[in-house]
């Protein structure tokens, strides 16, 4: 069945370089299922290379947490772990390129994928990385703000003391409730602007504003389906963090490959 396509007017000077607004398709739960199946197939086709990206992300997470402990910033560990998945879309750029090449039947090696990733610094992907990291830092600093307001008299001399304060005091529950609401809002914003923007920027010559607008339209025109996809991503990523980030070795690559295939279903090919 051919997906239904919807158009909007070009958004002035911030439209794509060709001057036409990007079109988006209507996606369904079946598209999510088929994309997941294709993502798993891509992972199994090149498990070592795919797993490398997941391993790198997991090791970076462990080093990041260790650095926070070493610096005595134990209060940052939970927000860092919870917010860590926010930067996953940018980390998956190499996975998008792998899926693109597998789909087109191209042969490739490590140098091919790493070269494409390195070249993204010269393109609009760098601006999307800035958007992603900016939202991550907004998340971290709002946590610090609410810690100061709600838990101002608490002592966080060690991680166990921090956990006890957050999970076993009324002030800690208030902090968790506020942080959860704000975190959900920030995650929704980031998901909306990046869900197809990242693979789109890797795949096409367009600016990051047009890519974000297309991504937002995919979400707003398919709210139920995309909410389901966001829930799958969130649950999978957070569960993957529990065994010392090691679950990311498998889940990050599969989700990255899946995102590529979902992007292709959500955004029709550019017209020649």
Question: pLDDT tens-digit profile of 159-199?
Answer: 677 777 778 888 888 888 888 888 888 888 888 998 899 89
Neighbours of 121 (CB within 10 A): 9
Q: Is residue 20 part of a domain?
A: no
Q: Is residue 19 part of a domain?
A: no
Q: Is residue 148 part of a domain?
A: yes
Write phi, then psi, for 5 (nearest 5 degrees). Answer: -110, 135
Q: Is residue 18 part of a domain?
A: no
Query: With 70 as the cut, is the pLDDT of residue 6 above it?
Result: no
Domains: count for the chain: 1
- What pLDDT score was predicted for residue 157? 63
Contact 90, 80 (CB under 8 A): no
The H helix count followed by the E strand count for the chain is 13, 2
Q: Is residue 239 part of a domain?
A: yes
What is residue 73's DSSP assignment?
Answer: -
Residues 6 or more apart in contact with residue 31 via CB below 8 angstroms? 3, 225, 262, 265, 266
Q: How far is 272 from 72, CA to CA, in rounded Å?
A: 56
Q: How far is 253 from 40, CA to CA, in rounded Å?
A: 9
Q: State the average pLDDT for the chain.
A: 82
Q: Is residue 106 part of a domain?
A: yes
Query: With 60 as the cut, is the pLDDT of residue 158 above it?
Result: yes
Q: Is residue 118 part of a domain?
A: yes
Question: With pLDDT > 90 as the criterion, what percentage of the chain qualifies?
Answer: 30
Query: With 70 as the cut, is the pLDDT of residue 108 above it?
Result: yes
Q: Is residue 13 part of a domain?
A: no
Q: Which domain holds residue 31?
A: 26-266
Q: How far is 187 from 16, CA to CA, in rounded Å?
A: 26
Coil vs helix vs strand at 6: strand
6 beta partners: 24
Write phi, then psi, for 3 (nearest 5 degrees). Answer: -65, 150
Which of 34-38, 86-90, 104-108, 250-254 is least confident?
A: 86-90
- Token couple for 4: 């239904």
């Amino acid at each position: 069945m051919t997906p239904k396509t919807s158009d909007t007017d070009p958004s002035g000077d911030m439209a794509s370089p060709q001057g036409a607004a990007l079109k988006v398709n209507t996606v369904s739960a079946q598209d999510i299922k088929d994309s997941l199946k294709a993502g798993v197939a891509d992972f199994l086709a090149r498990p070592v290379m795919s797993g490398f990206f997941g391993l790198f992300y997991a090791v970076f997470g462990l080093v990041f947490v260790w650095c926070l402990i070493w610096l005595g910033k134990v209060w940052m560990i939970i927000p860092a772990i919870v917010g860590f998945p926010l930067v996953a879309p940018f980390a998956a750029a190499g996975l998008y390129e792998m899926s693109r090449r597998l789909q087109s039947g191209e042969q490739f090696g490590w140098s091919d994928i790493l070269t494409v990733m390195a070249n993204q610094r010269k393109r609009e992907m760098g601006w999307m990385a800035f958007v992603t990291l900016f939202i991550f830092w907004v998340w971290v600093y709002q946590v610090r703000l609410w810690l100061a307001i709600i838990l101002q008299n608490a002592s966080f001399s060690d991680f166990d003391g921090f956990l006890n304060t957050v999970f076993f005091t009324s002030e800690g529950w208030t902090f968790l409730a506020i942080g959860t609401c704000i975190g959900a809002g920030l995650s929704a914003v980031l998901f909306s602007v990046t869900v197809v923007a990242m693979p789109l920027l890797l795949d096409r010559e367009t600016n990051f504003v047009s890519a974000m607008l297309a991504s937002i339209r995919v979400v707003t025109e398919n709210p139920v389906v995309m909410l389901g996809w966001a829930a799958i991503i969130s649950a999978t990523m957070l569960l993957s963090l529990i065994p010392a980030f090691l679950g990311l070795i498998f889940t990050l690559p599969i989700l990255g490959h899946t995102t590529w295939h979902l992007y292709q279903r959500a955004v029709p090919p550019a017209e020649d």
